[in-house]
Structure 1
Amino acid sequence: MQTGFIGLGNVGGKLAGSLLRNGISLMVHDLDADLVADFVARGATDGAAPADMMRACDVVITCLPSPAASAAVMAQMLPLMGPGKTWMEMSTTDADEILRLGAEVAATGGVAVECPVSGGCHRADTGNISIFAGGPRPAVEAVMPLLKHLGRRILHTGELGTASKLKVMTNYLATVHLVALCEALTTMKAAGLDLATTYEAIRISSGTSFVHETESQLILSGSRDVNFTMDLIMKDIGLFQKLAEQGGVPLEVSPLLIDIMADGQRRYGARAQSDRIIERLEDATGLSIRADGFPTVLVDDEPEEEGYEVRRRTPVAAAAE
């Protein structure tokens, strides 16, 4: 199928690269002409504009920084949608917005599938990232060949809107882990512990997490460049808080987390790298949360393989009496 990809930024560019690397006929578009030119030099076709791409492609994938950006692109593509056309939304977005746009797509006879990703830019770069796929089962199965090149582990989450809700939940948890790790590392430094030893103690214990095994390394090396900015964090944890409020859930950690990240933006800039949140505690204590021997860039050393679908656990049958 002729495939289009709109949004060649930190994540989108790596996802689109996985398609190109695996021989998918790819048309691309981005507001940054240099990013488009780089893909064209590697064998992609310049899509010119979203409407042109929807006219020419069977499937158009979007990976954009905000719900507003996705809506603007969809406004250009919708008049060209119809039977046989599929929109795959890989942005992290508002579930209400994906449902609104999905209904507009369905009204044309086209199909919408949401496919947000989780696992970091380094895994997006190697096709080893995880993907949540929301939409009707037949629609998800139709794009599964593309999903298997885009990511390693693919979970069909249910109908449209479910994947977006789960994605903001995972980003909320990742941010909780990040802030908690900043407090843990700073407290251990203040207590006189070696930070390289502290890293290993966390890694081999019940306190470990994906965030620790990736972002803690960038904090300790001083790089603090995870290719994810504070404005994106604020969007995602804000969407999670919205879901909680809609469900009447009286969260306590979430509002505090929003306040912490908002303070980080005030101090270091709205688009500062999210790992720079450690600097709030460095500023407050005068301590340097760094250690030798840690990388400045994350590299995925898991070999690239075709993705596969992750199946939900099924209830264990009751034992015979």
Structure 2
Amino acid sequence: MKTGFIGLGSVGGKLAGSLLRNGIDLTVLDLDEGRVAEFAARGAQPGQSPAAMMRDCDVVITCLPSPAASDAVVTQLLPEMGPGKIWMEMSTTDADEVLRLGALVAETGGQAVECPVSGGCHRADTGNISIFAGGDRDSVERVFPLLKHLGRRILHTGPLGTASKLKVMTNYLATVNLLSLCEALTTMKAAGLDLAVTYEAIRASSGNSFVHETESQLILSGSRDVNFTMDLVQKDIGLFQKLADTHGVPLEISPLIIDIMSDGQARFGTRAQSDRIIERLEEATGLSILADGFPTELIDDEPEEEGYEITRGRA
């Protein structure tokens, strides 16, 4: 499949790199011309415009920072869409927008699939990230040859819109976990515990999690650069809150974490790394939540393997 990729940011650039590394005929486009030039030097074709890419490619993938950005790009794709053409949305976005844009794609005779990813930028870089695929079965199977290079574990979540709902849910849970870990680490420091021992205690216990094994290390090393910024967190947890509001679910924790992240943005900047949220507690307590021996960046050391579909009950 001749493939276009629009959006070479923190996640998109790594996903596009997996396609290029695995020999996919790839055309790329980004507002940052330097990123496009880097991919061209590695063998990708530079895209001229979204419309031209849709005209020349079988599939165009978007991985963009907001629903508004996706809308702007898909609007340019639509005149060149038709039977045999696929729009593949890999952004973390609003399920209602995916459904709206997907309906416009269907009117042209084209197909739409949403494929948000989960597992961290370090796993996106190695093709070992997990993918939620939403759309009709035929459409998902058509893009599976791409999905198996983009990610390790691929879950068909159901009709269009289901993957986006699940993705914002998982990002909400990750944010709750991050904030609770910040409180746990700070409280243990205040109580006189060694933070390296605290890290191991959490990892060996029922309190362990993916977020702890990754982001806690970056907090303790002082790097606090998880390659994910506070504005993106706010977008995702805001979309989860919108979903709950739409369905009349009276959430209590969600509004609180939105307030905490808003305060973090006010203190450290809208585009501050999300792990810097620990610094609110450092400022409040005068404690330094650091420990020796932790990495300053996350590296996925699992060997790259071809992706496969998972189903309920299968690891």
In structure 2, the residue matched to 1:275 is: 275
In structure 2, the residue matched to 1:152 is: 152
Alignment-mate amino acid for residue 20 of structure 1: L
Asked whether 1:71 is paired with 2:71, we answer yes
Which of structure 1's runs of 4+ aligned residues deviate more than 2 A? none
Q: Distance in 2 between matches of 1:94 and 1:313?
A: 28
In structure 1, the residue matched to 2:214 is: 214
Query: Could you say what secondary structure the match of 1:155 adopts?
Result: strand
Q: Distance in 2 between matches of 1:30 and 1:312?
A: 36
What is the CA distance between 1:103 and its match in structure 2? 0.2
Superposed CA deviations along residues 71-123 of structure 1, whole A, max 9, x for unmatched, are 00011110000001000000000000000000000000000000000000000
Q: Distance in 2 between matches of 1:286 and 1:151?
A: 42
Query: Could you say what secondary structure the match of 1:152 adopts?
Result: strand
In structure 2, the residue matched to 1:194 is: 194
Asked whether 1:35 is paired with 2:35, we answer yes
Asked whether 1:10 is paired with 2:10, we answer yes
Superposed CA deviations along residues 228-278 of structure 1, whole A, max 9, x for unmatched, are 000000000000000111111111000001000000000000110000000
Aligned-CA RMSD value: 0.7
Asked whether 1:131 is paired with 2:131, we answer yes
Query: Could you say what secondary structure the match of 2:84 adopts?
Result: coil
Query: Could you say what secondary structure the match of 1:60 adopts?
Result: strand
What is the CA distance between 1:312 and its match in structure 2? 1.8
Q: Distance in 2 between matches of 1:77 and 1:59?
A: 11
Unaligned runs of 5+ in 2: none
In structure 2, the residue matched to 1:113 is: 113
Asked whether 1:54 is paired with 2:33, we answer no
In structure 2, the residue matched to 1:306 is: 306
Query: Could you say what secondary structure the match of 1:290 adopts?
Result: coil
Alignment-mate amino acid for residue 57 of structure 2: C
Query: Could you say what secondary structure the match of 2:305 adopts?
Result: coil
Alignment-mate amino acid for residue 285 of structure 2: T
In structure 2, the residue matched to 1:161 is: 161
Unaligned runs of 5+ in 1: 315-321
In structure 2, the residue matched to 1:286 is: 286
Q: Distance in 1 between matches of 2:295 and 2:147?
A: 30
Q: Distance in 2 between matches of 1:196 and 1:303?
A: 28
Q: Distance in 2 between matches of 1:243 and 1:151?
A: 26
Alignment-mate amino acid for residue 231 of structure 1: D
Asked whether 1:297 is paired with 2:297, we answer yes
Q: Distance in 2 between matches of 1:312 and 1:25?
A: 33
What is the CA distance between 1:48 and its match in structure 2? 1.2
In structure 2, the residue matched to 1:141 is: 141
In structure 1, the residue matched to 2:84 is: 84
Q: Distance in 2 between matches of 1:202 and 1:56?
A: 51
In structure 1, the residue matched to 2:178 is: 178
What is the CA distance between 1:313 and its match in structure 2? 3.4
Q: Distance in 1 between matches of 2:173 and 2:108?
A: 37
Q: Distance in 2 between matches of 1:204 and 1:16?
A: 35
Q: Distance in 2 between matches of 1:55 and 1:47?
A: 11
Q: Distance in 2 between matches of 1:162 and 1:200?
A: 36
Sequence identity percentage: 82
Query: Could you say what secondary structure the match of 1:288 adopts?
Result: coil
Q: Distance in 1 between matches of 2:66 and 2:310?
A: 28
Query: Could you say what secondary structure the match of 2:309 adopts?
Result: strand
Q: Distance in 2 between matches of 1:80 and 1:63?
A: 19
Alignment-mate amino acid for residue 12 of structure 1: G
Query: Could you say what secondary structure the match of 1:263 adopts?
Result: helix
Q: Distance in 2 between matches of 1:110 and 1:68?
A: 21
Superposed CA deviations along residues 185-235 of structure 1, whole A, max 9, x for unmatched, are 000000000000000000010000000000000000000000000000000
In structure 2, the residue matched to 1:250 is: 250
Alignment-mate amino acid for residue 194 of structure 1: D
TM-score, normalised on structure 2?
0.99
Alignment-mate amino acid for residue 162 of structure 1: T
Alignment-mate amino acid for residue 43 of structure 1: G
What is the CA distance between 1:305 and its match in structure 2? 0.3
In structure 2, the residue matched to 1:232 is: 232
Q: Distance in 2 between matches of 1:29 and 1:80?
A: 16
